[in-house]
Amino acid sequence: MNPPIPKVKNLIFDLGGVLYSIDYTAVERGMESLKDPAHTGEGVAYSRGYQDPLFSLLEIGQITPAEFFERMKEKFFLKAEKEEFFQVWNSMLNGLIVGREEMIKQLSLNYRLFLLSNTNEIHYQYLLPECEKMFSHFEHCYFSQQVGLRKPDLNIFNRVLAEQNIKPEETLYIEDSLQHIHAAQSLGIHTLFVEDETWVESFKQQFNLN
């Protein structure tokens, strides 16, 4: 954890890997199990640092979930019905990390809180029932498929700063993807790179949380 940052008034949180548990490898394993054995070819690559362009199109809302299914099925020779495919696609979502909702609730008493997440309509609908209460503690939630932009595009960070009238030097961004950290830093936003769970205790100490 970096030394305390003076004058932080705003906290922007990523969702997956920071507040919500994600297993990126589950998608690759699951998609491999759906491949038509009669075909060989590239597997589905999906990780924190890289993903097929089809995933990005879904994340900015340029294709619908149904179109995503059809194009994935064709490109990777998947032999699956839509519901089976969606189950595999959602298999990476492991649930809200214990204690995160309470942490966000406490922070909301003293800081302006915002959520900034690359996600998609399929995942959003799946996790919403579990996360809706936590989302209510944020002043505003920015989901990539709803705003038509995704990290690390600087435009999505600038949109948050401009719409909420917040200053980068008074803002801390908490994120587990290094390329997104670098994007935020280029705009003068303070950052906390989440590599593992060790960040939580020092973060709580810095912000005087129970």
* pLDDT tens digits for range 148-159: 999 999 999 999
pLDDT band at residue 28 under the 50/70/90 scheme: confident
- Give tens-digit pLDDT for 42-101: 667 666 666 788 999 999 999 999 999 999 999 888 999 999 999 999 999 999 999 999
Q: Domain map of the chain by residue range?
A: 10-22+94-206, 24-93
The token pair at 89 is 């696609």
Note the pLDDT of residue 5.
Answer: 57
DSSP 24-69: HHHHHHHHHHHB-TT---PPPPB-SS-B-HHHHHHHTTSS-HHHHH
Across 41-50, 87-96, 128-137, 185-194, least confident range = 41-50
Q: How many residues does the chain have?
A: 210
Lowest mean pLDDT among 27-31, 57-61, 128-132, 185-189: 27-31
Give CA separation, 177 vs 21, 118, 143, 182, in Å.
Answer: 14, 11, 16, 9
pLDDT at 37: 82
Q: Work out the angle at residue 95's Cα, subtended by the Cα atoms of residues 53 and 21, and round it to the nearest 5 degrees.
A: 60
Q: Structure tokens of 140?
A: 């505003």
DSSP assigned state of 5: P
Residue type present at position 52: D
- Please state at what angle helix 65-75 crosses helix 121-135, rounded to 10 degrees: 130
CB 13 within 8 A of CB 143: no
Q: Coil, helix or strand for 61? A: coil
16 forms bridges with which residues in the sheet? Answer: 20
Domain 10-22+94-206: homologous superfamily in CATH = HAD superfamily/HAD-like (3.40.50.1000)
What Rg value do the Cα atoms of the chain yield, rounded? 18
Structure token digits, residue 59: 């994340």
What's the CATH code, domain 24-93?
Answer: 1.10.150
Identify the pLDDT of residue 145.
Answer: 98
